[in-house]
């Protein structure tokens, strides 16, 4: 699957986000080793701390579906922002737990441009199990 199709999947998911407080929908699409795509949206909660980002929703759904560390091949993140929308720091660290450092991370903006980074570029000093 190319980055445009993966990003299109992330963009379409934004409509399913549960964002009654921020009104800031985010969609994510993760490409897996077997070619499957699992999507996620941000799901807010009035307590804020219980809010879950789209990226983590997609990763956790993949894990609950039986995918394992190393099965993740790319992620696309879409929001309605002027600049490129990167994952938050918590999501970056969760990505580092399940994905290889050279995995592509695709970000978009409100002009539908796509920025391609690697996970290592997004999170150069990640905590990993190799460092313990």
Beta strands per DSSP E along the chain = 26-32, 37-41, 72-79, 104-108, 114-118
Instruction: Name the active-site residue from 4, 15, 44, 55.
Output: 55
Quick check: is 121 catalytic? no
**76: which strand partners?**
29, 106
Residue 109: partners with Cβ closer than 8 Å, 6 or more residues away: 81, 82, 83, 84, 85, 115
**Which residues are identified as catalytic?**
55
């Amino acid at each position: 699957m190319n980055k445009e199709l993966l990003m299109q999947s992330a963009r379409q998911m934004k409509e399913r986000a549960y964002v009654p407080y921020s009104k800031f929908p985010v969609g994510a699409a993760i490409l897996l080793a077997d070619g499957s795509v699992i999507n996620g949206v941000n799901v807010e909660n009035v307590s804020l701390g219980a809010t879950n980002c789209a990226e983590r929703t997609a990763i956790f759904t993949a894990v609950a579906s039986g995918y394992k560390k190393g099965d993740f091949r790319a992620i696309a993140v879409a929001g309605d922002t002027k600049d490129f929308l990167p994952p938050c720091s918590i999501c970056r660290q969760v990505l580092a737990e399940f994905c290889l450092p050279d995995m592509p991370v695709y970000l978009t903006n409100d002009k539908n441009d796509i920025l391609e980074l690697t996970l290592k570029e997004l999170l150069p000093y990640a905590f990993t199990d190799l460092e313990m």
